[in-house]
Amino acid sequence: MIFDMLKQNNCNELHIRYDIDSGCTFVVALNTIYHNKGNGGTRMKNYSSVGEGIEDALKLANAMTKKCVVIGEEDNGGYSGAKGVIIGDPAIQKTPKMLRNYGRFVQSLNGRFQTGCDMNISPSDLEYMAERTQYVDGLPSTGLGDGGAATAYGIIVAMKILCEQRYGTDRLKDRLIAVQGVGSVGSALIRRLSDEGAEIIVTDVDSDRLKSVADRYNVEVVSSEKIYSVKCDIFSPNACGDILTAENIEKLNCDIVIGAANNPLAEGLRSVSQMQKRGIVFAPDYVVNIGAQVLAICEVEGKSFDYANNKIKGIIQRRLQQISLQNETMYEAAEKIVHQEMLRN
C-alpha cells in the first residue's frame, strides 16, 4: 500500500522517525527523481492516525513537485518537491525540544530536504529547528519574510488575470470574494483584497482568529458550512485540501475558484469537470500558489525580496497565459505541462 501511495504521488522516498521525547511522529516525503533535493514546508497536525499523516505528506510532496515544475528549470534552484509532517497535537506537544529534535531529523537528510513554515509551524518555531539544522528558510532574523504573504501576493496576481479573462477588467475593486481560511495566507490575502477595494466574506474554524481578522478589516463573517453557497464572484479556498467535494461544488455560487489551499480537489479532473459544467473556472492550485516556494528558493540563492516578488508575478502570468490558450480546462493543460516537463528530466 505504501509503495502504491508513493507511486501515485510521484514520490520515491519516505522518511519516518518516532520522537520518544514528545510522542510525535516525524515524516518527510520526497521526490528525488525530478531533482535530487526537495523543497517544501513542514506542518504539524493532530491526525487521526500515523497513516493519515503519511498520506497527507505524500500528497503535499506531489503538489510541491508540481510547483517546482511550474516554476521552471531556470528558477527552481534545482529543487523537486518535498513535505514535512509532524504528527501530533500542536496545542500540547509542540515544544522547543520537539522542534529541535525535528531539526536534527531534517539535518540527517544531508541537504536533500529544505523546509520552512506551514500549518501550525510559525517563523519562531523555525528558530528552534535551526539550532539543529542549516536547511531551514524563512527565519525571522535572516529570512526574506513570510511565505504566507508571498503566496497571497501570487493569488492576487492570478485573480487579476482571471478577472481580466472573465470580466474584461483586472480590477478587484467591488468584486465579492469569499475567503475560506484566515491563517497566514488567508489573512495576508484579505489585507491585500481590502487594499484593492474588494468586498470580502470570510470563514475559519478558529473562532478567535476569525474574530481578529473580522475586527481588523471589517469583513462579513459566515459559518464554515455557508461559505460554499454565498453568492460571490470568486471563491478562494485557503485552508485544508480535499474541500471541493461533489456536494460542496454543487453549493458553489461563484464564477471563479482560486486559492492557496494545496490539493483542494476531492476527485481531480472529475471535480474540475463538475465545476466546468456549472460555468465555474478553476485555477490549478499548484500554478497560482507558488509564492512561498519561490520565496524560499530565492532566499537559499541569496536573492532579494523584490527579486522574488518579480519572479512570482512573472511565472504566474506566463503559466496562466500558457494554460488558458489550450482547448481544455486549465487543470488538464497544467497536468500535461507537468507530465511532459518531468519526463524530460
Answer yes or no: 83 catalytic. Answer: yes
Question: In 3-state terms, what secondary structure has residue 78?
Answer: coil
Q: Are 21 and 102 in contact (CB under 8 A)?
A: no
Closest to 336 (Cα-Cα) out of 71, 155, 75, 69: 69
> DSSP string covering 8-76, please?
HTT--EEEEEE-TTT--EEEEEE--SSSSSEE--EEEE--SSHHHHHHHHHHHHHHHHHHHHHH-TTTS
Choosing from 45, 59, 66, 83, which is the catalytic residue?
83
Q: Which residue has the cell 511565505?
A: 147
Q: Are 330 and 284 in contact (CB under 8 A)?
A: yes
Q: Which residue has the cell 524563512?
A: 138
Closest to 120 (Cα-Cα) out of 99, 150, 103, 145: 99
Which residues are known to be catalytic?
83
